Every structure is written in structure tokens, then in C-alpha cells.
Amino acid sequence: MSAHSVADPIPADHEGGFDLHRTRKTGMWVFLGSECIFFGAMISTFLLYRNTTADGPGAELFDVAFTSASSFVLLMSSLTMVLAHNAFERRDIRQARIWLTGTALLGATFLAGQIFEFTEFVHAGLTMSTSPFGSSFYMLTGFHGAHVAIGVMMLTAMVILSTSGRLHHDRGLNVELVGLYWHFVDIVWIVIFTIVYLLQV
Amino acid sequence: MTAVAAPLTQDGRSGIWGWITTVDHKRIGILYGVTAFTFFLIGGIEALLVRTQLAQADGTLLSAEAYNQLFTMHGLTMVFLVVMPTASAFTNYFLPIMLGARDVAFPRLNAFSYWLFLFAGLMIYTSFFAGGAPDGAWVGYAPLSGQITEAVRMDFWSVGLQLLGVASIVSSANFVATCFTMRAPGMTMLRMPVFAWMSLVVAFLLLFSLPSVAIGLFQLFLDRNFGALFYEAAAGADPLLWQHLFWIFGHPEVYVLVLPAMGIVSEVLPVFSRKPLFGYEFVVFSGVAIGFIGFGVWSHHMFTSGMGPVAEAGFGVATMIIAIPTGVKIFNWIGTTWGGRLNMSTPMLFSLGFIAMFVIGGLSGITHAVVPSDYQQHDTYYVVGHFHYVLFGGAIFGYVAGVYYWFPKWTGRMLDERIGKIHFWLMLLGFNLTFGPMHILGLNGMPRRTYRYPEGLGFEFWNLMATIGSYIIGISLLFFIWNIIRSRRNGTLSGSDPWDGRTLEWSIPSPPPEHNFDEVPLVRSLDDFWHTKYAEDEQGRAVRIPAVTGAEIDVFAEEEGEAHGDIHMPSPSYYPALSALGLVILGYGFVYLSFGWIAVAVGGVVALWGLFGWSLEPVTRSEHH
Amino acid sequence: MTVVQHTAHPAPKLYWIVALILALVTALEVAASYIDALDPVLVPLLLGLGAIKFGIVIAFFMHLKFDRPLYRSLFLLGVFGSIPLFVVLLLTFNAL
């Protein structure tokens, strides 16, 4: 049976009477739903203040070409992530490790791009205290970057664990769950990139 | 000493270390309950100090500075450190049992939520000794909250609330996963007890409202400490943004506070009316509707902020609409008691008290929904009267009903009925004497959040009455405490089902064993436990089924290898407490940013150690008994 | 009572195709933002293309199209809940 409705009680033939993996995925998905509000509030603040530049620099600082490149990098890291999960499901730990490493590296590259971009902007006179625009821009992209950094940490941890055969299906640190988190961070960036960079109305 | 909690864990851990490492939802529920009650007494003392100051005109007991800290902390304490954790205590203890499960979805995360709540609550209180407690009101409006520079008071407030928010978010994800994936066989969603449903709705409310205030709090923190300009009008920002982000959380929050109490009332009334809940589906769906609509009314806290007639009209209408599902519940509760054989024991008294007081509070709430009326009422004592009627007369009466109802299940002993009735009547009297007059004071123009009022404005009499009422509440609580202490030692033994209950928690021993159920129940209907005790005759009256042993009733699911000795419970762990400790140390670092980088580093390391250890350890390490 | 069988994972090839589509859509978006003639329809166009990328990643990379309906409900509640919430917020500021 693959189509379960929300109303079905769980089958009681797993240890402890419930399917832990399903339970964990439920927890992760509802958490990601909650994160939509988190980023939604920051995006709203940015939209409110997008033109409140207080005589400081504004969106003219953006280098859309550069940011497109780093967006592409992050988008491809979602590919490597899903390939890592696919390899793990096929019990090909070595392949999984390669793709996990690739994902972490692409994520780190994205972060490097962000840091480079921020330093350029700071030199050009846009800081958190320049204007409400500056505050909301850095907070939104900064929090996103922090999420990416946490993701890179988890990915690195999994790479290290996989070298000693300690990457298990049934632990909290789990390829599929980290994958869901990672993809989410990617789609948040899709929204941010569109609204902040592409739609400089 | 009477054992309040489950006996020793499988690992044989006892004593303090057993409590620190516990992942048993029942023990965690007790930890939440005892901690919340302690904070309740502290918040009550803060209230008594405020009331004593206001008993006379030109009161001299408290300076303005002290007063502002006390009323701020009273609000913060009652909302975040008392009512929410009390709801958590009940949900923690009973949600798994009501669903026929052995624990929540993520037992260690459950423990983490508790420890983070405790440590963050203590952290906020240490501010009293570190230059002063937060004093910008529990709602911390910008720009004031951004400008208070005395010590680091408002940083304790913003960082502390963030940490408490994290605890609630993860706890809510835990309960959602539990409700959706861990129900016993046969328990469909519409066979879950109403209390379980309300806990589920509350979990969703928190998951989708807390992030908004989290952002507001981060923005405030950045304004205060990093020169950000989110709420600086001089830079072109709009401080009103704070109010929006706060109340997008703050309004659903009030339903977070009251829905679990409504759930408890929905459990108590049927048992003490000896009738099923009238309109179960209506009660459930109106709770869900309140949850949804609750996200659409937040700006009714902001009618006087100049939003313009369109916004005000919209939110005013939405606020009136939310009265409808609330009314549905009230009518269903009346329908439950109507024609029942009422058992007027203390749980029933507090539940009926809940309904009456909540209706009064709801009526004053309707007057707030009328925008021009609210223009006059806003920021006066009328509002203070309104919300205490719904939160104290409502939520707290409901939770006290829960204590009287479920005390036998936690301890195996009954609370004393005579003392309980004294507690009830004194509390009802004191409560109404305290908060009833506030409606009059508000309409006569007494503003809230001011540390004294001058003579000659006509406020003296009712303020004095309110203060007397608050002391009567205090005395009633002494009876409550005495009842609990005395009954734990000498209370009548209750057995597993002292009230002839309807739901699964009454089918297991009092107190329950760690694994809850010897065999996972097979659920055939709503109020399944009741139907194992009673059948109906031709006239629909309940007929007691003669007591049979477990072997004869086919109420238990057969599970291979699930004989009593083979149950694997999650193992205790110190990583949750450790991770929580690390986060709070990190929090101190953020409060004291100028020299707090050491705390940030230390806290970060501790938290990471805890989190990694936790994510790498297996859930169950224990072997068979 | 049967266990939910983990739906067989698609072959990696599908993921490469999805990634290619994502890259193409991104290129389209960036190009569109530079073409002045598209300015009048730029907002809905870019939001629409962004939504397509969003949806594809969720459906295929996050596997939501093939997974339990419960996960879909939980997540979409967040997505479709936050949009009206913040639209109303911004409208009160006349910021939309």
C-alpha cells in the first residue's frame, strides 16, 4: 500500500510499534514548514525596506552575473545531494561519500561567493548600519548563509562518519534528512535570488 | 516516600542523575509541571507586589523602575514559564498514553525541550541580580525596547525568549510527529481524545507563529547590539513592524495558552456528567478553526496604531468571526452536561468555572473587536481585566481541573475533596474580586503599565478591592499546595480508574509503568476504554460488562515478540541536558556581547558536543530484561 | 497490516535531467532580467519561473511527489500559509 491517508494508524510491526524513519521524516517536514514562516518574515522585512536606503547605496551594488553563478553552484549542490542519497540507498557508501563531499564543497563555494560579495558591498559603503535596506539585506542573506554553513557542517560530519562505516540509516544524522534540509536551503535561495536580485523594482 | 514518577528506568538509574538523563515522557511531564508551578508562585509574588503598590493612590512600595521590572516579569513568567510549560506537562504525560503509544516520537528531543526551558527561564531570572530584569513589558515594543540601555535587561529578554522559542518549536515538531505516526492500531485521527487534538492544534500554532517573533527578536537584538536599523524611525524604518511581527506570534499564542485547557475541560465534562462529549467532531473542528482563524486577527492588538480604516475593519470582522467556533465549543460543553448525572467533584467545579469565566472574558473580548470601542479600551485596565478572565479564569482554571482530575494517575492517590472545594471557592471569589473591578477601572480611564495613580481620580476603591482579591487568590493557593503535599502522603489510594473514565490513560496502573501498556491496545472506537467497560441495553443505557481478564477480551493487538519482557524503551541520555546547557551558555555570551565571546565559544563547543553525541548515539542501547 | 514500502528510488538519470532543467530556467530568468522589453511582465514572469524551480526541487529532489501525502500537507501548509500572512502584513504598510 503506497497511498496512505493522514487518518491511517500506523502498522504495529516494527520494533517499538512504529516506523522511526517515517516519524523522523514527519518531524523534518513540519520543521521545514515552520522555516517557511521564518524566512517569510525576513523576506517581508526586506520587501518593506527595499527602497529605504537612507542616502546610502542600494540595489545598484548587486552584480547579478556573479550572484547567478553562485546560485547555479548551489542549485547543482542539490543535484549532488540527491545523487548522494541515491547512492546511499543502493548501499554504495563510497559513491555516497563522493557525492556528499561534492555537495559540501559546492556549498562551501557558495558561501565563499557570499563572503566575497559581502566584503565588496561593505567596501562600497553598504553595512548593516547604513540603512534599513542594509540591515534587512544582510540579515536575510546572512541567516541563509548560516543555514548553508550548518548544512556544510552536517555534510562534512557524514563524510567523516562514512569513512569508518558509521553512517547508519537509523541515527539522527541521516543522509535523507540532511538531504531534505539541504534542498530546502536551496529553494529558499531560489526565492531570495528572485526577489532580492532579479526583481530590483 | 510515595513514588510520583515511574519506577526505575531500564538502566536502573535512580536519583538526580536518573532525572537529568530521563527520556521518559511521564518524568519529563512531571519536571515541566513542578517547574511551571514553581514559576507560578514566583509570578504570583510579582503580582502581589504590583497589587500592593496599587492598593492606594500614590503608592510608595515600589519605584517606577522596580514596578516596570515586576510587571514585565510577571507577564513573561506567566505566559512563557507557567502556562505554556503547564500545557506541555499535560501533553507530555498524557499524549502518548491517550494515543496508545509508549512514548513521544523523539524522546531525547523531548528532554532537550524541558532542559532548555528550565535553563533559559533561570537565565532570564538571573537578570534580577545582573543589573535588573527586563522592564519593557512582556511585549517589548520597539522603539522603547531598542532604546532601554540600563544594563543588559532587554538583551536577557530577547535572548531568553529566543531560547524558549527554540524549546517550543522542537517540542511542537515532536508532538506533530507523535500524533501522525504513533497512534495505536485502530486509532484513527477522529478517535483521538479532544485533549490530544488540542495539543496537535497548539503544536501547529507554535510551529507557524514562533518564527515570526523569532525574526522580530533577532532584529531587535541586531538594532540594540550591532547598529542595525530595523526599527529606527530616523533612518526611515517603521517601528510598527515590530508590533506586526510580535502579534503574528502573539495572537496565536493566546490560543496556545487556552486550547489545551479547553481540551482538558472536554475530557473532564463527559466523565463527570456520565455522558459522552456532545458533538465530538464539532469540538475538534472548532478547535482547528480557531487555530486557522487565529492567524488572521493579530492586528486587533494594534487598532490604535494608525493602520487605517481598511485594515482595522478587516481585522475587526475577523476577530468577531473567531467568536463563532469558540461559541460552538461552549454550546457543545453545555450539551454534554445537559441531562447528565453530574458528579460535582473538584475537577468538575473547576471545569464549570472555566466555562463561566471564559465566557465573561470572551464577552469583553467581543467589545474589543468593535474597533471604536477598542479605541477607548486599549491600554486601560479594561484590557487587563479581559485577558485575565480568559487566561486565569479560563486557562488556569482548566489546568487546575486537570491537576485534580489526573493527580490520581500520577501518584496513585486522590486529592482531598474538602480541601479542593475550599480551594475552588476561595480562588473563584478572589479571582473575580481581583479582575472584575478592572473593567470598571478601565472604563473610568485608569491606564495600564503605570506604577501609581494620583488621588482624586476615583480609582482608589476598586484598586483596593482588587488587591484584597489578589491576596485571597494567594490564600487559595496555599490550600492547593497543602492539598498536594498532604494527599501525596496520605491521600486515598485511587487504583487505575477512580473516576470511571473514558480514555486510555485510565486503563493502565496509577502510576503507569515506564512502558505504559503491557500490550499495545487495539482501538475500536472513540472512548474505546469506556466501551470495554460498558455496553448499551435496548434503551441505550450503559450496562456494565462483567469484569474479565485480559485473556478473554480481545482488546489487545497481537504483536510478535512483544511479550512483557521484550519491550525496548529508549535509553536515558545526558546529551539533551548538555546541549541545552551549551545553548544557554551561548545565550549569556550574546547577552554580554562586549566581553561575552568566551561564553559564545564555550557554549558553542558544549552545544556542538551535545548535539553530535546525541545524533550519533543509537536510540536504544538496552537489552531485554 | 502491511508496511509502507519505500517507493523505489528513480534512477540517477532523472536527477540529471531535472538539474539541467533547473539550469536552463535559471539562465532564462537571468536573461529576462536584462531584457528591457520584458519589464512590464517581469515580476509575474520571474515569480512564475522561480515557482517552477521551487516546485521541481521539492517534487523531485525532495521526493515529495512520490512520498506520503502527509509530508506534502505539512510542508505546503507552511508555504501557502506564509504567503497570505505576509501579503496581508505588507499590505497594511502599503508596501506591495
Could you tell me if B243 and B301 are in contact, meaning their C-beta atoms sit under 8 angstroms apart? yes
Mean pLDDT for chain B overall: 92
Name chain A contacts of B619, Cβ cutoff 8 Å: 20, 170
In degrees and rounded to multiples of 5, residue A191 shows phi and psi of -65, -45
Closest residue in A to B521 (Cα–Cα): A12
Q: Quick one: pLDDT at residue B567?
A: 74
Q: Is the pLDDT of residue A4 over 80?
A: no
Q: Closest partner residue to C85 among B185, B295, B307, by Cβ?
A: B295
- Top residue of B178, B182, B201, B208 to mutate, by most chain C CBs within 10 Å, is B208
Q: Quick one: pLDDT at residue A14?
A: 40
Q: For chain C, which residues make up each domain, given as ranges?
A: 11-62, 67-96
**A20: contact with C, CB 8 A cutoff:** no
Q: What is the mean pLDDT of residues B80-93?
A: 98
Q: Quick one: pLDDT at residue B22?
A: 94
Q: Closest partner residue to A82 among C15, C50, C86, by Cβ?
A: C15
Q: Is the pLDDT of residue A15 over 70?
A: no
Residue B62 pLDDT class (50, 70, 90 cuts): very high
Beta strand ranges found along B352-481 (DSSP E) = none
Chain C residues whose C-beta is within 8 A of a chain B C-beta are: 1, 70, 74, 77-78, 81-82, 85, 88-89, 91-93
Residue C33 pLDDT class (50, 70, 90 cuts): confident
Residue B554 pLDDT class (50, 70, 90 cuts): very low
Q: Is the pLDDT of residue B623 over 70?
A: no
Q: Mind listing the pLDDT tens digit for each residue in A94-111?
A: 999 999 999 999 999 999
Q: For chain B, which residues make up each domain, given as ranges?
A: 21-563, 574-625
In degrees and rounded to multiples of 5, residue B542 shows phi and psi of -75, 130
Name chain A contacts of B228, Cβ cutoff 8 Å: 128-129, 135, 139
Q: What is the mean pLDDT of residues A110-120?
A: 97
Q: Mind listing the pLDDT tens digit for each residue in B502-549?
A: 999 999 999 999 999 988 999 999 999 999 999 887 777 778 887 654
Cell of B72: 514585565
In degrees and rounded to multiples of 5, residue B142 shows phi and psi of -75, 155
Q: Mind listing the pLDDT tens digit for each residue in A138-164?
A: 999 999 999 999 999 999 999 999 998
With b for 16 or more beta-carbon neighbours within 10 A and e for fewer, the B312-345 pattern comes to bebbbebbeebbebbebbbebbebbbeebeeeeb
With b for 16 or more beta-carbon neighbours within 10 A and e for fewer, the A126-163 pattern comes to bbbbbbbbbbbbbbbbebbbebbeebbebbbbbbebbe
Q: Mind listing the pLDDT tens digit for each residue in B253-269?
A: 999 999 999 999 999 99
Beta-carbon neighbour count of residue A175 at 10 Å?
24
Which residue, among A64, A65, A201, A61, has the nearest Cα to A138 in the 3D structure?
Answer: A61
Q: Who wins on pLDDT, B151 or A42?
A: A42
CA angle B30, B40, B168 (to 5 degrees): 60
Q: Quick one: pLDDT at residue B172?
A: 97
CA distance A62 to chain B (A): 20
Interface A-B: count of C-beta contacts within 8 A:
162
Angle of helix B240-273 relative to helix B323-337, nearest 10 degrees, comes to: 10
Q: Quick one: pLDDT at residue A16?
A: 46
Q: Is the pLDDT of residue B588 over 90?
A: yes
Q: Quick one: pLDDT at residue B557?
A: 45
Name chain C contacts of A84, Cβ cutoff 8 Å: none
Tabulate helix, strand, coil % of chain B (nearest 5): 70, 0, 30
Residue B318 pLDDT class (50, 70, 90 cuts): very high
CA distance C83 to chain B (A): 12
Q: Quick one: pLDDT at residue B555?
A: 43
Which residue, among B39, B50, B126, has the nearest Cα to B84 in the 3D structure?
Answer: B39
Q: Mind listing the pLDDT tens digit for each residue in C39-93?
A: 888 889 999 999 999 999 999 999 998 899 999 999 999 999 999 999 999 999 8
Closest residue in B to C80 (Cα–Cα): B208
Q: What is the mean pLDDT of residues B127-148?
A: 92
Q: Is the pLDDT of residue B4 over 80?
A: no
Q: Which of B201-210, B301-310, B441-450, B542-551 has the lowest mean pLDDT?
A: B542-551
Closest residue in B to C75 (Cα–Cα): B208
In degrees and rounded to multiples of 5, residue B213 shows phi and psi of -70, -30
Query: Judged by CB atoms within 8 Å, which residues 240-299 of B form the interface with C?
Result: 240-241, 244, 248, 295-296, 299
Residue B612 pLDDT class (50, 70, 90 cuts): confident
Mind spelling out the 3-state secondary structure of B325-361?
Answer: HHHHHHHHHHHHHCCCCCCCCHHHHHHHHHHHHHHHH
pTM of the model: 0.93
Percent of chain B predicted with pLDDT > 90: 84
Q: Mind listing the pLDDT tens digit for each residue in B160-186?
A: 999 999 999 999 999 999 999 999 999
Q: Quick one: pLDDT at residue A8?
A: 43
Could you tell me if B109 and B570 are in contact, meaning their C-beta atoms sit under 8 angstroms apart? no
Chains contacting C with at least 3 CB pairs below 8 Å? A, B
Name chain A contacts of C44, Cβ cutoff 8 Å: none
Q: Is the pLDDT of residue C95 over 90?
A: no
Q: Do A41 and B559 touch (CB under 8 A)?
A: no
Beta-carbon neighbour count of residue C47 at 10 Å?
15
Beta-carbon neighbour count of residue A29 at 10 Å?
29
Chains contacting B with at least 3 CB pairs below 8 Å? A, C
Q: Is the preceding peptide bond at B143 cis, omega within 30 degrees of 0?
A: yes
- Find where cell 507577564 sits: B75
**C28: contact with A, CB 8 A cutoff:** no
Name chain A contacts of C62, Cβ cutoff 8 Å: 179-180, 183-184
Which residue, among B123, B30, B43, B34, has the nearest Cα to B79 in the 3D structure?
Answer: B43
Q: Which CATH architecture has domain B21-563?
A: Up-down Bundle (1.20)
Q: Is the pLDDT of residue B112 over 90?
A: yes
Q: Is the pLDDT of residue A93 over 60?
A: yes
Cell of B118: 528550565
Residue A2 pLDDT class (50, 70, 90 cuts): very low
Mapping DSSP to helix (H, G, I), strand (E, B) and coil, where does residue A134 land?
A: helix
Q: Closest partner residue to B307 among C77, C82, C92, by Cβ?
A: C92
Which residue, among C53, A127, A163, C28, has the nearest Cα to B222 in the 3D structure?
Answer: A127
Q: Quick one: pLDDT at residue A6?
A: 43
Q: How far apart are CA B460 and CA B467, in angstroms?
A: 11
Report all structural domains of chain A as residue ranges with CATH numbers, in order of start.
20-50+64-198 (1.20.120.80)
CA distance C93 to chain B (A): 8
Q: What is the mean pLDDT of residues B191-217?
A: 97
Considering only the C-alpha atoms of chain C, give the largest distance between any 2 of them, rounded to a whole number of Å.
60
Q: Do B216 and A129 touch (CB under 8 A)?
A: no
Residue C93: its H or E element = none
Q: How far apart are CA A157 and CA A171, in angstroms?
A: 13
Name chain C contacts of A180, Cβ cutoff 8 Å: 62
**B173: contact with C, CB 8 A cutoff:** no
Angle of helix A175-192 relative to helix C42-56, nearest 10 degrees, comes to: 180
Q: Quick one: pLDDT at residue B2?
A: 40
Chains contacting A with at least 3 CB pairs below 8 Å? B, C
Could you tell me if A182 and C62 are in contact, meaning their C-beta atoms sit under 8 angstroms apart? no
